[in-house]
């Protein structure tokens, strides 16, 4: 059973469905895309009792948790206490994502390279600090905010507004009780996703996400507007430093803190002139990075995830398609602000006939045999190509075949790797 309803979960379902070990596949609650490959089970993701009940009622052998909220709420602890096998970190280990202040403290303790930062639990103290800054800063709500709780502010005046919105206006609710204010790092971002189990770490192929809503990385941050894999900036030298300076120390630090990590450890990095620095850690697969990564993965994802749960990760080998993949997110007009839902999506059947292209559903549902929009990020159109330019062209050609009212997408996904702005 895959828990979640986004594009990441559709990609996980798509990959798991190809496993020769699979007998039955469920997705809770799923979307219109997962419904074609699995049995969707309607449930509220915050209802851990209901999720555990579904696992027991359907004799689930392995549960795979997609989103961060159930992980931070302790779903793994609950399932394991009931004797149920589940893929993901404990609540204590998931704090690496769920509490940015804790993550900052742990990185400092483990000498993991990251931006210089301060933690504030008092609005006036944070305001006084930002008022002394002459250069830009990044303001982060410490708790979970679905990828939208980070404000990059080249002008400190914008940072004061962000701080007020988070701590006073409470646009993210209790998530904004604590705020992290960091230096604004310069460079290119890199997503490194790894599996950790016991003392074994397996690093996936690399990817680069595109967080801001607008072309040229402009506008507010989103959950992710597209991604591509591999990222040419991730040279062997860079990856060696990431593994030695970031992944190994943080896994050791979590273990020493009584929170051994078992599951997906995602490091969001900035490649600065001084080397890779951590922007954030996540405790689950990235979205939309998972879509191009799983398009490129060869092998049995079910076997890989089971090996993590059984602490035998060192026994599993995964091969990768050398061809690059590009994912372009089609979003509802107005996202990440207010947007409409319920609009009919046209062209999906046509795209399904295109080789080396997959449309991963995110915010969709079925209504009277029609697929309609049901979220901010609606689809992740993902394509493979012999080279990155071909993958990019195929993805955008497929995007052009799909229509729904208010559809919006960035037009520059993967442009950086192709020499663009």
Domains of the chain: 2-93 (3.40.50.20), 122-177 (3.30.1490), 188-320 (3.30.470.20), 325-418 (3.90.600.10)
Mean pLDDT of 149-160: 91
For range 280-303, the mean pLDDT:
96
Partners of residue 287 on adjacent β-strands? none
Using CA atoms, how far residue 163 sits from 140, 150, 176, 392, in Å, is 8, 10, 9, 37
Question: Judging by DSSP bridges, how do beta strands 39-40 and 26-29 pair with one another?
Answer: parallel
Residue 175: what pLDDT? Answer: 86
pTM beyond 0.85: yes
How far from 291 is each of 109, 128, 222, CA to CA, in Å? 33, 42, 17
Among the listed residues 59, 65, 61, 50, the one whose alpha carbon sits nearest the alpha carbon of residue 12: 65
Is the pLDDT confidence value at 146 over 90?
Answer: no
Identify the band that residue 313 occupies on the pLDDT scale cut at 50, 70 and 90: very high
Encode pLDDT of 229-272 as tens digits. Answer: 999 999 999 999 999 999 999 999 999 999 999 999 999 999 99
CA 180 – CA 278 distance, rounded (Å): 14
The pLDDT tens digits for 359-383 are: 999 999 999 999 999 999 999 999 9
Q: Is the pLDDT of residue 126 over 70?
A: yes
**What local confidence, expressed as pLDDT, does residue 421 receive?**
66
What average pLDDT does range 25-44 have in this prediction?
98
The whole-number pLDDT of residue 306 equals 97
Position 390 pLDDT exceeds 80:
yes
Backbone torsion region of residue 342, taken as left when φ is above 0, otherwise alpha when ψ lies between -120 and 50, otherwise beta: left
In sequence order, what DSSP letters do the residues of 338-377 get, joined into one string? -----PBPB-HHHHHTSTTEEEEESSEEEETTEEEE-SSE
pLDDT tens per residue across span 315-343 = 998 999 999 999 999 999 999 999 999 99
Residue 127 and residue 163: Cα distance in Å, rounded?
7
Q: List CB contacts of 299: < 8 A, sequence separation 6 or more.
A: 317, 318, 319
What is the distance, to the nearest Å, from the Cα of residue 42 to the centroid of all Cα atoms in its chain?
Answer: 22
**Helix axes of 100-109 and 248-256: crossing angle, nearest 10 degrees:** 100
Beginning with the edge strand found earlier in the chain, give each strand of the sheet holding 26-29 in spatial order: 39-40, 26-29, 2-4, 63-65, 86-87
Is residue 386 pLDDT above 90, yes or no?
yes
pLDDT of 56 above 80: yes
Band (208; pLDDT cuts 50, 70, 90)? very high
Contact 72, 96 (CB under 8 A): no
Closest CA to 371 of 55, 31, 47: 31
3-state secondary structure of 62: coil
- Scored b (16 or more CB within 10 A) or e, 135-165 reads ebbbbbbbbbbebbbbbbbeebebbbebbeb
Position 49 scores a pLDDT of 96
How confident is the model at residue 317, as a pLDDT? 86
Q: For all residues of the chain together, what is the average pLDDT? A: 95
Mean pLDDT within 42-70: 97
Other Cβ atoms within 10 Å of 173 Cβ, number: 10
pLDDT (0 to 100) of residue 370: 96
Question: 378 CB contacts (<8 Å, ≥6 apart)?
Answer: 329, 330, 331, 332, 345, 361, 362, 363, 364, 404, 407
């Amino acid at each position: 059973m895959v828990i979640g309803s986004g594009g990441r979960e559709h990609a996980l379902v798509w990959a798991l469905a190809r496993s020769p070990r699979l007998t039955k596949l469920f997705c809770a609650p799923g979307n219109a895309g997962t419904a074609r490959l699995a049995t969707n089970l309607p449930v509220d993701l915050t209802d851990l009792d209901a999720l555990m009940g579904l696992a027991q009622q359907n004799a689930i052998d392995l549960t795979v948790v997609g989103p961060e909220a159930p992980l931070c709420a302790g779903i793994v602890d609950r399932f394991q206490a009931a004797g149920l096998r589940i893929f993901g970190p404990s609540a204590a280990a998931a704090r690496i994502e769920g509490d940015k202040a804790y993550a900052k403290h742990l990185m400092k303790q483990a000498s993991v390279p990251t931006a210089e930062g301060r933690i504030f639990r008092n609005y006036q103290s944070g305001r006084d600090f930002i008022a002394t800054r002459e250069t830009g800063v990044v303001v982060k709500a410490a708790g979970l905010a679905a990828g939208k709780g980070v404000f990059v502010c080249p002008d400190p005046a914008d940072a004061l507004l962000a701080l007020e919105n988070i701590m006073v206006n409470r646009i993210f609710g209790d998530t904004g009780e604590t705020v992290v204010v960091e230096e604004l790092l310069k460079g290119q971002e890199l997503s490194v996703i790894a599996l950790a189990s016991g003392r074994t770490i397996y690093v996936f192929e690399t990817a680069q996400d595109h967080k801001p809503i607008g072309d040229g990385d402009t506008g507010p941050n989103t959950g992710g507007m597209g991604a591509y894999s591999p990222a040419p900036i991730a040279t062997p030298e860079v990856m060696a430093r990431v593994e030695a300076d970031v992944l190994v120390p943080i896994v050791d630090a979590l273990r020493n803190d009584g929170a051994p990590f078992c599951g997906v450890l995602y490091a969001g990095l900035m490649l600065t002139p001084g080397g890779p620095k951590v922007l954030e850690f996540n405790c689950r697969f990235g979205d939309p990075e998972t879509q191009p990564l799983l398009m490129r993965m060869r092998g049995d994802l079910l076997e890989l995830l089971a090996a993590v749960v059984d602490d035998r990760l060192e026994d599993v080998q995964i091969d990768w398609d050398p061809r690059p993949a590009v994912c372009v997110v089609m979003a509802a007009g107005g996202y990440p602000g207010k947007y409409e839902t319920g609009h009919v999506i046209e062209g999906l059947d046509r795209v399904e006939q295109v080789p080396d292209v997959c449309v991963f559903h995110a915010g969709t549902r079925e209504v009277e045999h029609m697929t309609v929009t049901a979220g901010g990020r609606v689809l992740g159109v993902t394509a493979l190509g012999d080279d990155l330019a071909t993958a990019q062209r195929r993805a955008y050609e497929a995007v052009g075949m799909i229509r729904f009212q208010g559809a919006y997408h960035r037009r520059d996904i993967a442009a950086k790797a192709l020499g663009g702005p």
